[in-house]
Amino acid sequence: MCGRYGLVTKIKEIEKKFGVTAPAGFVFEPNANVTPGTLAPVVTSDNPSTLSFYRFGLQPSWAKKPMLLINARAEGDHNQDDLEQYTGAKGIFEKPSFRKPIRSQRCLVIADCFYEGPKDVGLSKKDNTRPFAMAGIWDESVNITTGEVMHSFAIVTTPAHKLLRAIGHHRSPLILEEHDERAWLDTTLSMQDISQLLRVPNAEIFNAYPVSPEIKNPRASGMHLMQPVGERITPEYRYEVSQQLDLFGMGESRARKRKNKE
């Protein structure tokens, strides 16, 4: 399950990275604790050049009662043991709430990090290429009482990779490789092509670290929620290479230049 994530990148940077334009006048405040029911930035298959703001928690178009579906299992009711090596049917194509959106209503859910349990852990990309895109599906519904049109989304999940299993979690949001992001938005893809994208993310590009227990509170806010409060699972190092540049005249060497100075 992925029910909490953070996005603090400025809108201008999101526009540049994903090639989109935000609606005029819309103000998005950085949010280190995006929770179900929150409006959040997405890039949708029906409007891939515009940054849209949809509710986190999918409300199927046919639902008569309020629903808040935050995740959509790629395997559906299959793979109940959440085996990473599972290669069987993708039940998401069969689920009434998801079978239409997964075929033609997909979106990129933009994030800087996401949080998972049972321990309070944040995960972000190692190489600092944030923000990244989680695979999402969206739907449009109408409030039968007020007539209000609402757009909402859910995050597609897969079995957990080894990094998430190391912290005791069994599911992972589907993190898209950058070269797959536009493919995910392509409404002409066949079911077979979509299925090829529903794979366990590469664990090597992410790292995990403990965060404040405050993250359990859906009303908690502040940049400190994204900050590590302990060591990362995989140590990260920064290497700096310095090089001394000397200028030599024709026929000179470092030794001769030193001798001449002496």
Three-state secondary structure of the chain: CCCCEEECCCHHHHHHHHCCECCCCCCCCCEEEECCCCEEEEEECCEEEEEEEEEECECCCCCCCCCCECEEECCCCCCCCCCCCCCCCCHHHCCCCCHHHHHHCEEEEEECEEEECCCCEEEEECCCCCCEEEEEEEEEEECCCCCCEEEEEEEEEEECCHHHHHCCCCEEECECCHHHHHHHCCCCCCHHHHHHHCCCCCHHHEEEEECCHHHHCCCCCCHHHHCCCCCCCCCCCCCCCCCCCCCCCCCCCHHHHHHHHC
Q: Is residue 243 part of a domain?
A: no
Residue 39 in any domain: the answer is: yes
* Residue 192 within a domain: yes
pLDDT-derived band of residue 28, with 50, 70 and 90 as boundaries? confident
Tell me the average pLDDT across 50-74. Answer: 95
Look at residue 203 in the predicted model and tell me its pLDDT: 84
The more confident residue out of 229 and 119 is 229
pLDDT at residue 6, as a whole number: 95
For the stretch 156-180, pLDDT in tens is 999 998 888 888 889 999 999 999 9
249 in any annotated domain? no
Residue 108 lies in a domain: yes
Q: What is the mean pLDDT of residues 45-67?
A: 95
Name the residue with higher pLDDT: 24 or 156: 156
**Looking at the domain assignment, is residue 94 inside a domain?**
yes
Range of the domain at 125: 5-233
pLDDT tens digits for 86-135? 999 999 999 999 999 999 999 999 999 999 876 566 767 765 678 999 99
**250, part of any domain:** no
Q: Burial, 100: exposed, middle or buried (Cβ in 10 Å; 0-12, 13-18, 19+)?
A: middle
| Mean pLDDT computed over every residue of the chain | 87
135 is a domain residue: yes
| Digit-coded pLDDT (tens) for 184-227 | 999 999 999 999 999 999 888 888 888 988 888 999 999 999 88
Whether 38 has a pLDDT exceeding 60, the answer reads: yes
In CATH, what number is assigned to the domain containing residue 58? 3.90.1680.10
Q: How many domains does the chain have?
A: 1
- Check the CA dihedral 17-32-119-234 and report its sign: positive
Neighbours of 167 (CB within 10 A): 18
